[in-house]
């Protein structure tokens, strides 16, 4: 039954996408040429959002780590504060600091049931990964490693490489469940690589390491080819997300053949002073604020200024995804202004569970 639903849905979405093309002559396709029809339609729809006059920036929120903190609490908090639910809802499959005897056990995708329900009710899932460090048996996601250790992780014949492969296999199992339901996923691996806090990134504050950057690109493309070619995951939109508060935002870019959406993870006090928008937009991919929140968690950030800054300074933004708990709009100011702005698209306004809203809306 699910397969029949997915085929029917794909046909509907393709017809809608094709009908809108006379207005916007070019079609924007995912980097995976074999992407599902649904995923192709979502990509094209998202890429054309900046052409709208209103309803052009999808809202998003993080729901937690699948292993132990994921829930629909954040959606409910935002709905209570604003009357709206996020268009995008995020889950993290990787609890990278979890100490276990088997590193693959740091991967959990039990949030899938909620993501499936969210998709069917008019939302779009996002999956991110705070990967455990394969240089160790488990955990240590913030433990810095040398470039030689990095090379071992890339080599599937080493103990480190086998640990990485075990995690990737478990992640792909989770993503396959969503694929089998015909669900498109915003997939954000290896984020904030230009920072010095994750094992896959730099080892010093704003200290450029050309070898490290090359190793990162090899890791990213390894993950891409495994998910795409080996596991046949044709439902993913690939998101590249450096940190706004560090340099070298585009140095790690693996290439236009591997990225669908570029964005910034930005924690800020002044929404008008976020660094990197022009740099990321220059890559000629749809742009998003892939993770956002206040730099100081005292409830003082006014999220109304964030959507106003998007309108005035970052107009090519296609979506934003706010973090949960004390970083949430519900724990700060201006949540209603953010979610009820005329530029903001919320759950059910992207699509109704059966068909996308017209590109030209």
239: nearest Cα among 195, 275, 280, 202: 280
Q: Contact 64/94 with Cβ under 8 angstroms?
A: no
Residue in this structure with the two tokens 């949030």, named with its chain if needed:
111
| CB neighbour burial string for 247-269, b if at least 16 within 10 angstroms, e if fewer | bbbebbbbeeebbbbbbbbbbbe
Active-site residue identified among 54, 192, 196, 325: 192
Q: Contact 361/55 with Cβ under 8 angstroms?
A: yes
Distance CA 50, CA 47 (A): 7
Active-site residue identified among 160, 291, 349, 361: 291
Distance CA 114, CA 125 (A): 9
Distance CA 89, CA 215 (A): 31
Is residue 74 annotated as part of the catalytic site, yes or no?
Answer: no
Phi-psi region of 49 (alpha: psi -120 to 50; beta: other; left: phi over 0): alpha
Is residue 192 annotated as part of the catalytic site, yes or no?
Answer: yes
Give 81's Cβ-side CA count (13 Å radius). Answer: 20
DSSP 329-344: GGGSB-HHHHHTSTTE
- Which residues belong to the active site? 192, 291
């Amino acid at each position: 039954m699910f397969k029949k639903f997915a085929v029917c849905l794909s046909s509907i979405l393709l017809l809608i996408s094709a009908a809108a093309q006379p207005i916007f002559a070019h079609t924007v396709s995912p980097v995976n040429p074999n992407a599902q029809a649904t995923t192709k339609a979502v990509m094209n729809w998202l890429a054309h959002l900046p052409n709208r006059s209103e309803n052009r920036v999808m809202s998003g929120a993080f729901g937690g780590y699948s292993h132990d903190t994921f829930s629909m609490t954040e959606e409910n908090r935002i709905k209570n504060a604003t009357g709206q639910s996020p268009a995008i809802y995020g889950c993290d499959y990787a609890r990278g600091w979890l100490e276990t005897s088997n590193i693959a056990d740091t991967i959990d995708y039990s949030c899938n049931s909620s993501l499936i329900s969210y998709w069917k009710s008019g939302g779009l899932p996002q999956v991110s990964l705070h990967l455990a460090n394969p240089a160790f048996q488990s955990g240590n996601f913030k433990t810095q490693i040398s470039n030689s250790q990095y090379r071992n992780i890339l080599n599937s014949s080493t103990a480190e490489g086998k640990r990485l492969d075990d995690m990737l296999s478990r992640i792909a199992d989770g993503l396959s469940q969503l694929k089998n339901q015909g669900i498109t996923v915003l997939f954000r691996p290896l984020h904030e690589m230009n920072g010095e806090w994750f094992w896959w990134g730099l080892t010093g504050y704003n200290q450029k390491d050309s070898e490290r950057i090359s190793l990162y690109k090899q890791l990213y493309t390894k993950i891409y080819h495994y998910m795409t070619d080996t596991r046949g995951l044709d439902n993913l939109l690939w998101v590249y997300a450096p940190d706004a508060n560090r340099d070298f935002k585009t140095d790690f870019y693996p290439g236009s053949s591997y990225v669908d959406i570029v964005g910034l993870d930005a924690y800020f006090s002044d929404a008008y002073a976020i660094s990197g928008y022009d740099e990321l937009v220059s890559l000629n991919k749809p742009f998003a604020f892939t993770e956002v929140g206040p730099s100081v968690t005292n409830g003082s950030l006014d999220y109304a200024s964030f959507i106003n800054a998007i309108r005035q300074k970052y107009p090519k933004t296609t979506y934003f995804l706010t973090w949960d708990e004390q970083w949430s709009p519900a724990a700060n100011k201006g949540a209603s202004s953010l979610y009820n702005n005329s530029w903001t698209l919320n759950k059910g306004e992207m699509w109704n569970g059966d068909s996308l809203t017209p590109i030209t809306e």
